[in-house]
Amino acid sequence: MAVSPSSISSLELTISMPGFSSSPPFPSSDLDINQLPSGTGEEEWITAGVEDEEESTNGGPPRKKLRLSKEQSRLLEESFRQHHTLNPRQKEALALQLKLRPRQVEVWFQNRRARSKLKQTEMECEYLKRWFGSLTEQNRRLQREVEELRALKVGPPTVMSPHSCEPRPASTLTMCPSCERVTTTGLDKGSTKTTTTAVAAPTTAATLSSKVGTPALQSRQSSAAC
DNA sequence: GCATAAAAGCCTATTACCTCA
DNA sequence: GTTGAGGTAATAGGCTTTTAT
């Protein structure tokens, strides 16, 4: 599974496979994530309120939550568009540029990847729902069609067999009960042609089916046994 | 070369905090 | 002023891959 990160936008809906380069995590004993970076500039730190005093009296640092500035967010997004993962150098450079700690940049990228994936999953879910709906509709239509054909009760066209000189059906339409596909049995000895009526899956579905078995794919796989 | 432990890096789930209606 | 929902920074734990022995 490969993805070209360079072509991915911030809300890209392709599957992202993370790269394998990032910096080692900074243990909290080495670097307190809530500690203000030296020379802090643009980021906005918010103190949490009442409990802070209790914590600070207990020896712990007051809890603070970082709010990234618009400019920091913009730069991070821009960077994310170029790479979904950062190698240690990139992370270091970005952290320096943003006046953040590398760990914070790393965390931001992790969360950003998670958000991307969530968004993608939601859209895939929507897509599959719609696809299912259209397949159901098509199935209904085809079943109606079959019923109508049966209702006609017209005998199939006959031809003369070259061997027995007896009339026999030119072809017979049958439907597989499990996969509900129409099978045409022709004249030739043992020639059974299966007519595929599957809906052509759009590109997105093709992408999906590479990850999970789509209904069409599963249908195709199951009907292979017919 | 093979086995194994440690390190590194990522993902996922969750928490904690903030903002806003 | 209070409350609940939503957004997001940060944490914890687990898994996979890489590296050193």
More confident residue, A132 or A200: A132
How does the average pLDDT of chain A come out, rounded?
Answer: 62
CA A111 to C1' C3, in angstroms, rounded, equals 27
Spatial distance between the Cα atoms of A151 and A7, rounded to a whole number of angstroms: 55
Spatial distance between the Cα atoms of A27 and A23, rounded to a whole number of angstroms: 12
Sign of the Cα pseudo-torsion (A70, A72, A73, A75, in order):
positive
Report the 10 Å Cβ neighbour count for A132. Answer: 12
Tell whether the model's pLDDT for residue A220 goes beyond 70.
no
Strand C contacted by A111 CB (< 7 A) = yes
Phi (first) and psi of residue A44, to 5 degrees: -105, 120
Strand B contacted by A117 CB (< 7 A) = yes
pLDDT tens-digit readout, A38-90: 433 444 555 433 333 333 333 345 446 788 999 999 999 999 999 999 999 99
Give the bases of strand C that a protein CB approaches within 7 Å: 8-12, 17-18
Percent of chain A at pLDDT > 90 equals 31
Spatial distance between the Cα atoms of A214 and A204, rounded to a whole number of angstroms: 11
User: Considering only CA atoms, which residue is closest to the C1' of nucleotide B9?
Assistant: A22
User: What is the reported pLDDT for A156?
Assistant: 57
CA A48 to C1' B21, in angstroms, rounded, equals 21
Tell whether the model's pLDDT for residue A94 goes beyond 60.
yes
3-state secondary structure of A103: helix
